[in-house]
Amino acid sequence: MAESPRDGRLLQVVARTSIAAVSGVITALAFAPTGLWPLTLVGVVGVLAAQWRVGPGLGALLGFVYGSTFFLVLLSWMTVIGTDAWILLSLYCALWNGALGAITGPLSRLRGSAIWIASGWVVMEALRGRVPLGGFPWGELAFSQGNSPLAPLTGVAGMAGLTFLIVATAAIIIDSIRRRRIRAFAVVAIASVLAVVFIPKPLEFGGSSGTATVAVVQGGTPGTGMDAMSVRRAVLANHVEQTLRLADAVDAGEVAQPDFVLWPENSSDIDPFRDPSAAEEIDIAARAIGVPIVVGVVVQTDDPTKVENTGVVWDPETGPGERYVKNHPVPFGEFVPFRDQLSDLIGRFDRVPRDFVPGTEAGVLDAGGVVIGDVICFEVAYDDVFSAVVDGGAQLITVQTNNATYQGTGQPAQQWDIERLRALQSGRSVAVASTTGVSGIIEPDGTVIAELAEGETGYLVAEVPLRDGQTLSTYLDSLPEYLAALALAAGLVISIYVRRRSSAATVPSDRPLG
329 DSSP assignment: P
- C-alpha dihedral, 427 to 428 to 434 to 440, nearest 10°: 90
Half-sphere exposure of 297 (CA within 13 A, CB side): 25
Alpha carbon distances (Å) from 408 to 26, 32, 78, 239, 437:
22, 12, 12, 21, 10
CATH for 209-474? 3.60.110.10
Contacts of 279 (CB under 8 A, 6+ apart): 272, 273, 319, 320
Identify whether the C-beta of residue 31 lies closer than 8 Å to the C-beta of residue 143.
yes
The active-site residue, picked from 204, 322, 377, 481, is 377
Looking at residue 84, what is its pLDDT?
Answer: 83
Report the chain's C-alpha Rg in angstroms: 25
How many other C-beta atoms lie within 10 A of the C-beta of residue 304?
A: 9
- Write the burial class of residue 118 (CB in 10 Å: 0-12 exposed, 13-18 middle, 19+ buried): buried
Looking at residue 340, what is its pLDDT?
Answer: 59
SS3 content of the chain, % helix, strand, coil (to 5): 50, 15, 30
Alpha carbon distances (Å) from 198 to 69, 319, 445:
37, 47, 14
Looking at residue 510, what is its pLDDT?
Answer: 41
**How many whole angstroms separate alpha carbon 48 and alpha carbon 27?**
12
Q: Is 481 a catalytic residue?
A: no
Q: Using a CB cutoff of 8 Å and minimum separation of 24, what contacts does 441-450 make?
A: 441/214, 441/216, 444/202, 444/204, 445/152, 445/201, 445/202, 446/151, 446/152, 446/201, 446/202, 446/420, 446/421, 448/420, 450/216
The active-site residue, picked from 326, 334, 379, 443, is 326
The single-letter code of the amino acid at 319 is G
**How many whole angstroms separate alpha carbon 507 and alpha carbon 504?**
5
Looking at residue 513, what is its pLDDT?
Answer: 38
Output the DSSP codes for 207-220.
Answer: -EEEEEEEEEEE--
- C-alpha dihedral, 119 to 122 to 125 to 130, nearest 10°: -100
Q: Is 265 a catalytic residue?
A: yes
Identify whether the C-beta of residue 86 lies closer than 8 Å to the C-beta of residue 30.
no
Alpha carbon distances (Å) from 173 to 70, 113, 168, 180, 460:
21, 11, 9, 10, 45
> Could you tell me which residues are beta bridge partners of residue 312?
295, 323
Q: Is 93 a catalytic residue?
A: no
Helix (H, G, I), strand (E, B) or coil at 39: helix
Output the DSSP codes for 40-95.
Answer: HHHHHHHHHHHHTT--HHHHHHHHHHHHHHHHHHHTGGGGGT-HHHHHHHHHHHHH
Q: Which of 217, 203, 288 is nearest to 467 (CA)?
A: 203
Q: Which of 178, 289, 183 is nearest to 242 (CA)?
A: 289
User: Which residues of the chain, if any, have pLDDT below 50?
Assistant: 509-514
Looking at residue 6, what is its pLDDT?
Answer: 77
| Domain locations in the chain as residue ranges | 5-199+478-505, 209-474
How many other C-beta atoms lie within 10 A of the C-beta of residue 6?
A: 8
The active-site residue, picked from 125, 204, 265, 481, is 265
